[in-house]
Amino acid sequence: MTKEKVVTTLTELEDEKCINSSFIRDEDERPKVAYNEFSDDIPVISLLGIDDDENERAHIRRKITEACETWGIFQVTDHGVDVKLISEMARLSTEFFNLPSHEKQRFDTSGGKPGSFFVSSPFKGELVQNWRETVTQCTYPIKSGDYTLWPDKPDGWRKVTKDYSDKMMGLSHGLLGLLSEAMGLETEALSKACVEMDQRVMINYYPKCPQPDLTLGLLRHTDPGTITLLYQDQVGGLQATRDDGVTWITVPPVPGALVVNLGDHAYYVSNGRFTSAEHRAVVNSNQGRLSIATFQYPTAEAPVYPLTISDGEKPVMEEAITFAEMYRRKMSKDLELPRLKKLDNKLDRSKLEARPINEIFI
């Protein structure tokens, strides 16, 4: 192995022969399906005519509902977001990650510094690192966003990010409207369940990796929020599972499409009808990969509980909790379960939910 050293940015390590041991995953977590071994299992659904014809809307709703009940993930085309805006967002994002390391580190969040750039993840105490670089920013509500923390290079990136965020918010509300109708509720039901919807944009860059078979760009997880819209470039690397990680498929990049996946909040408010998509990112040794994830969350005070429960069904939650509490419990578990695994299940599981949020994040 190479000599251990402090990782500043991963683009510095693209030409190494071996990866640092801090990135090496256990055997059962390593990828077995290649980044470009694509599957057609995830449906690609056109939204054309969704607001013009009720029969077409019902047809699209049925296809999206089926995808959400099985995988919790699908792709949409004809979504109404200008492809020029998406291309410009991707171009500027790529330019940032191609900057020299010292330029990116001006916005580094390590050591508790205010910023928007980090390597691997925002969690404290990771046992194994992810092979990725990330820029992230809260974009809604407007009062929560602080674009002084967003990189000032390349020129124009901040404004394009604002425009991109606006379009993603509109599309998210439209898709949640379809799912609300599928549940037999008013079109705005899922959006209202979020109270005042929060939004975060997370731009991920997965550089070339010398040993992609030993690591991951992003560990297996579900998103905590309601719905996520993802742009991925044409390289490939997003993978999904619906059998608890026994088998994985690689979601193919489709020109002009956006990947949609549901999070834990959608699972709970639908009383388990809609699946919270389990997914991860794998890397490769040939070229870097860019993805732009836009997460839609309920506001912190929003109550989390099924919006409707059919006769004879049991609720998937014992009682309503706030989204802030749901988020804290999930993030604490996501961080501590790998540690539990390392210690051969000797940790007290009751303590997994006890960590305050300021002890979870950098």
CB atoms within 10 A of CB 136: 20
In whole angstroms, give the CA distance from residue 19 to residue 5: 11
Map tokens 């026994």 to a residue: 246
In whole angstroms, give the CA distance from residue 252 to residue 140: 29
Give the mean model confidence (pLDDT) for residues 323-332. Answer: 91
Give the mean model confidence (pLDDT) for residues 163-176. Answer: 97
State residue 345's pLDDT score: 53
| Six token digits for residue 104 | 């990116």
Is residue 149's pLDDT more than 90? no
State residue 6's pLDDT score: 46
CA dihedral 215, 216, 217, 222 (to 10 degrees): -160
In whole angstroms, give the CA distance from residue 206 to residue 325: 31
Is residue 42's pLDDT more than 90? yes
Is residue 33's pLDDT more than 60? yes
Mean pLDDT of the chain: 90
Give the mean model confidence (pLDDT) for residues 24-45. Answer: 96
Q: Is the peptide bond before 303 cis (omega within 30 degrees of 0)?
A: no
**Per-residue confidence at 3, pLDDT binned at 50, 70, 90?**
very low
Is residue 340's pLDDT more than 90? no
Residues 6+ apart with CB under 8 A from 11: 97, 98, 101, 133, 205, 207, 288
- Amino acid sitting at position 220: R
Q: Percentage of the chain with pLDDT > 70?
A: 89
Rg of the chain (C-alpha set): 20
Give the mean model confidence (pLDDT) for residues 45-60. Answer: 95
State residue 141's pLDDT score: 84
State residue 353's pLDDT score: 57
Map tokens 């070339």 to a residue: 208
| 342 vs 310, residue with greater confidence | 310
CB atoms within 10 A of CB 341: 14
Nearest 5 degrees, angle CA 200-CA 203-CA 327?
A: 40
State residue 338's pLDDT score: 66
| 7 vs 59, residue with greater confidence | 59
Torsion sign over Cα 12, 232, 169, 80: positive
Longest Cα separation, the chain: 63
Give the mean model confidence (pLDDT) for residues 161-185. Answer: 97
**Per-residue confidence at 110, pLDDT binned at 50, 70, 90?**
confident
Task: Please count the residues of the chain.
Answer: 362
DSSP single-letter state for residue 231: E
State residue 1's pLDDT score: 39
State residue 334's pLDDT score: 78
Give the mean model confidence (pLDDT) for residues 310-319. Answer: 93
Is residue 350's pLDDT more than 70? no
Give the mean model confidence (pLDDT) for residues 210-230. Answer: 97
Give the mean model confidence (pLDDT) for residues 34-61. Answer: 96
**Per-residue confidence at 104, pLDDT binned at 50, 70, 90?**
very high
Report yes or no: 28 and 43 within 8 Å, Cβ to Cβ: no
Give the mean model confidence (pLDDT) for residues 313-333. Answer: 92
State residue 102's pLDDT score: 92
Distance of CA 77 to the CA centre of its chain: 19
State residue 188's pLDDT score: 97
CB atoms within 10 A of CB 212: 22
DSSP SS3 for 295: strand
DSSP SS3 for 144: helix
State residue 317's pLDDT score: 95
**Nearest 5°: phi and psi at 94?**
-65, -40
**Nearest 5°: phi and psi at 177?**
-60, -40
Give the mean model confidence (pLDDT) for residues 140-151. Answer: 77
pTM, 2 dp: 0.92
SS3 content of the chain, % helix, strand, coil (to 5): 35, 20, 50
